[in-house]
Amino acid sequence: MKGEDMKPLRFKKIDIKTVPAYVKGGAAYIGRDIARMRGTNVWIFIMYGLLLDTVNNLWRPFSAKFLERLGGGELEIALLSALPGLVAAIVLLPGTMLFRRFTDRQRATAAFILVSRALLLGIALVPWLPAGVRPMLFIVLVAIMNCPDALSQTSLQSFLGTVFEGNTRGQAIAMRNKFGQAIIPVVTVLTGLIITFLPRTDEQRIILYQIFFVAAFIVGVLEVRMFRRLKVATPVPTAETQADASPDAASHNTAQSASDASPAKGSPISNSPSDFALIPTIVKDKRFLAFFVPAIIFTFTWQAGSPLFAIHQVLTIRATEMWLALFALASCAAAFATGGIWQRRLRKHGNNTIFVVSGVLLSANLIFLPLITNVQLMAVFSIFTGFSTIGINAAILNGVLEATPDKNRMMYIAFYNTATSLSLFIAPFFAHALLSRLGDTSTMLIVGFMRGAATLLIWAAHKRSKYRSQDAVAA
């Protein structure tokens, strides 16, 4: 071939003297971008997200290792993954029904976040208790923490449907994820470095863990204050009443949408009909079920693999806190670098394509995991894991928001989150049962191929829904 495609690549010679000017110009551009966003809901949402990520990454990446240092084994690690799901499954639907009766839902959400962060202080006290009760008490406290966490995050997902509209919502989520992927490795690596190199004994290392739990609580207080700054539109009282009085109405106007997800100032609790009446409506919503069913099946296989990763890293290749931090760094760096690519592909090809592609990649992650026999290979492998995970997270979040109607969105999301929580409770036990009978390698291969089959189901369900829509239009 001749023409422009065959022109040799030419690289412009870089003058070292111009580098400071480029850096200064880039910093000025970022500064102008930040100044333009400052004070807006997008900016507040980003700052809230950074504080949330800081709280979680001061301890969650090391939770399995901390459990091992408390005396936990394979079963305890599986329980650490499973019990939070059981707690969330029990409380989500009734808790959300209670949430829908609060007129100031933002304030109620902030209260639940604060309760969750306060439990971190209880976890900090666990190492001072008798050795025999430490592992299970830590697991139980983490599980209980998931009760206010699940409710507050369900409420937050509902807020996103009204605080941000249309393209702004996608941009806010993308910006929050992008900045989050930048802060997570910094927090995780610093924590891992301190826990690994600062203490001289295991006793001193446990004390550092306690300090980080307390620090996470303090950052959590700042997180709550930032969340309270989000500006949520207040619906007209009559619209609230009308929307609550007719949950099956066909109208989906803005005021009715706000009545389900936005707080109204006034009395703490508003009148509402029985929310159980909405459940039959949800399970008959074909548009929602077309996303819900294959997504839950895939989520089960995804959650079944999580304890396998933790067991492989902590008990098989004996990763220390420093290596766990490096795994997180590699994963987050890959997610940060490729987050924009996934978002562009998402806008161009839609949720289903991104769901399928990232699902195939996550299947490959688990299938190849038995080949990772040392911490150095795991650090490299974590890059691939981070790239895959950021894609599936984006597809799921956008898919849930697209599949749920504006009206009664909180109940739809609570229904979805309850199902994922039940799956989270069952999946680790399923993985542990396979592990105890078949061993590490066989279990990883089985769960990995199950992910692949679930991904094909997602593709098939989308095709079926698409053809059904075309037939309806033709009719």
The string of DSSP codes covering 149-164 is HHHHHHHHHHHHHHHS
- pLDDT tens digits for range 210-266: 999 999 999 999 999 998 888 766 543 433 333 333 333 333 333 333 333 333 333
Bridge partners for 269 per DSSP: 102
> Is the separation of the CB atoms in 236 and 78 below 8 Å?
no
Give the separation between CA 213 and CA 207, rounded to whole angstroms: 10
Q: Which amino acid is it at 231?
A: K
State the residue for tokens 């902030």.
110
Which superfamily does 39-242+251-474 belong to?
Answer: MFS general substrate transporter like domains (1.20.1250.20)
Q: Which amino acid is it at 460?
A: A
Bridge partners for 102 per DSSP: 269
Task: Give percent of the chain above pLDDT 90.
Answer: 21
234 or 323, higher pLDDT: 323
Q: Does the pTM of the predicted model rise above 0.95?
A: no
Residue 281: CA atoms inside 13 Å, Cβ hemisphere, count?
A: 17
State the residue for tokens 């333009």.
36
Which residues does 255 contact at the CB level (< 8 Å), separation at least 6? 235, 236, 239, 240, 243
CA angle 87, 113, 124 (to 5 degrees): 75
> Is the separation of the CB atoms in 383 and 330 below 8 Å?
yes
Considering only CA atoms, which of 268, 256, 245 is closest in space to residue 102?
268
Q: How far is CA 286 from CA 23, 411, 465, in A?
A: 52, 16, 9
Task: Give percent of the chain above pLDDT 70.
Answer: 76
Q: Which of 180-194, 239-253, 327-341 has the least mean pLDDT?
A: 239-253
Most confident of 124-133, 179-188, 236-245, 269-278: 124-133
Q: What pLDDT, on a 0 to 100 scale, did the predictor assign at position 391?
A: 82
Give the separation between CA 413 and CA 411, rounded to whole angstroms: 5
443 or 153, higher pLDDT: 443
